Amino acid sequence: MASEKRSFSIDDSMTESTRLLIEKQDEGKGRIYKHRRRKATRARKLVVMVAGLVQQFVSVGLGFGLSIMYVELIAVFNAKRSDAALIQGLYLGLSVGTGIVLTGVIKKVGPGPTIIVGAIVAAIGLFTSSFAQNLPTVIALTGVVSGLGMSTCYLSAFISVSWMFHEDPGFPLVCLTIGSSLGQFAIPFLYEYFISEYTWSGAFMLVSGIALQCVPFGVIIYTSREYFVTSDHGSHERKEIPTCEGYMTLLKDFVLWILLFDFLLIALSGNVEAWFIVDIMTSRGYSRESGSILVSALGFANFIGRVSGSTLRFKCTNIPTVYHWLWICPVIALGHTLVINLRGYWAIFAAIILQGAAFGMNNSQTPAIMFEASGLSKYPQAMSLVNLVYGIGNLFSNVIGGFIRDSFGVYDIAYYIAAGASLYITFNSAIVSCIIHRRKRHQVQYSSLE
């Protein structure tokens, strides 16, 4: 009968246009189609991985490069440090933290189109900042407009990689974070060169072009959409957990709350070197260029740390990733303490390398930790929660650090708070490790009884 529902399987060899044509022709006939997602080749997976790395490189690199602009804008507009810090704080806070309200849009529209639109919006914000006549205008255009635009690029990278490497995305997600450290290493050099050659306003024009580099890679992700698998189900059909339901399920887990609080502390305290080392060096009589070199050295050390973190995740597949934080976080605390107490340039350089490598290793493992805690279906929601607390931490970290400098004349208190926060995260990691160990033991006992 015409009204009878029948199930068809469309062969994988059909083109997307053929599949859409058939569905269009049979629209309204009551037929149900269950076509299989095409299996991605290694080359396809590689290009999606590269596209995700570019999103991280640009979105995070532009934010860290603003630490160079921070010093310049203080002098140009004769501004307070707590006010100038809002530019970088809002940019990183919004670019990382607003993903929680965009998760549903990205899942519905797809990561490719959202990257394209977001990159264009970010470029417009940066470009128009070059015409600003006062600091509040720069705060609004760079901090708010560009930050909101880049938020889609940042979160979409994690979502697209988790959907492409759905079988076991832990290692690729750790590798993805390498892009942000490469951006932190390379883009501050560009900021320094652009400011030296074209002043701060010309630098804003030029870095807006960097934001546009996300667009062609967003197109690559869009053309790979038929290879994405978005659920934990054995079937490749798109059976997704509703966004709100996913959040509610996640937030019932006590371990997740501990992890989210740790991530908040990391964002509040972990980047004090990246935010303020240029200002610290200039206040000690060094040039802005010397401080810029330290920012890039921090990015290089961060890259080494993320590569090491990726290697740890690859080699230690049977060990929960959070176990590694038991020794990484004390090293971070040591690095913070050394940076603020040492006075020689090369001694500070060495301390920067130590802290940057440990912090990079710590950050690289965040996506894998959240995937282990949430699973594939709820991973977009889990990662958006992490990004939310990271965004809040990045915003207030800058403002609090600038306030401390304005009030006390030095950044020392901010660095000691950062060291204490790292030690507290070590304590929390030990608690989470014990809970995970107990859960695994109970799972083994339950399996043996079945």
pLDDT along the chain (450 residues), means of 10: 40 42 41 52 91 94 90 90 89 82 82 95 96 95 95 89 81 82 88 93 96 95 88 46 62 84 91 88 89 89 86 75 88 95 94 93 83 72 81 84 90 94 92 80 59
> 315 forms bridges with which residues in the sheet?
none
Could you give the C-alpha distances from 164 to 239, 372, 423, 429, in angstroms and in order? Answer: 16, 17, 36, 30
The answer to whether 383 touches 368, Cβ cutoff 8 Å, is no
Provide φ and ψ at 32, rounded to 5°.
-110, 130
Count of Cβ atoms closer than 10 Å to residue 21 Cβ: 12
* CA torsion, ordered 399, 404, 406, 409, to nearest 10 deg: -150
Q: What is the pLDDT of residue 48?
A: 94
Could you give the C-alpha distances from 366 to 171, 292, 329, 448, 449, in angstroms and in order? Answer: 11, 27, 13, 32, 34
Dist CA 307 CA 376 (whole Å): 23
Reported pTM: 0.72
Dist CA 129 CA 273 (whole Å): 25
Q: What separation, in Å, do the N-terminal and C-terminal C-alpha atoms of the chain show?
A: 46
Q: Which amino acid is at 224?
A: S
Could you give the C-alpha distances from 449 to 374, 435, 436, 443, 444, in angstroms and in order? Answer: 25, 21, 20, 10, 9
Dist CA 156 CA 116 (whole Å): 11
Q: What is the pLDDT of residue 27?
A: 42
Joined tokens for residue 279: 């200002």
Half-sphere exposure at residue 369, Cβ-oriented, CA atoms within 13 angstroms: 27
Q: What is the pLDDT of residue 176?
A: 85
List the domain boundaries for the chain.
1-36, 42-230+239-449
Joined tokens for residue 277: 């080392």
Joined tokens for residue 361: 């290793």
Please, which residues have CB within 8 angstroms of residue 247's CB and are 6 or more apart in sequence?
381, 385
The 10s digit of each residue's pLDDT in 284-332 is: 999 888 888 998 899 899 889 888 887 877 777 677 788 888 899 999 9
CATH number for the domain whose boundaries are 42-230+239-449? 1.20.1250.20
Could you give the C-alpha distances from 96 to 331, 387, 445, in angstroms and in order? Answer: 25, 5, 40
Closest C-alpha among 243, 240, 269 to residue 420: 269
The answer to whether 188 touches 67, Cβ cutoff 8 Å, is yes
Closest C-alpha among 136, 36, 127, 132 to residue 83: 136
Please, which residues have CB within 8 angstroms of residue 406's CB and are 6 or more apart in sequence?
80, 81, 82
Element (H, E) at 32: strand 32-33
Closest C-alpha among 271, 222, 279, 229 to residue 409: 279
Joined tokens for residue 4: 């009878």
Residue with tokens 């959240």: 370
Closest C-alpha among 124, 144, 130 to residue 204: 130
Please, which residues have CB within 8 angstroms of residue 217's CB and are 6 or more apart in sequence?
50, 51, 54, 55, 115
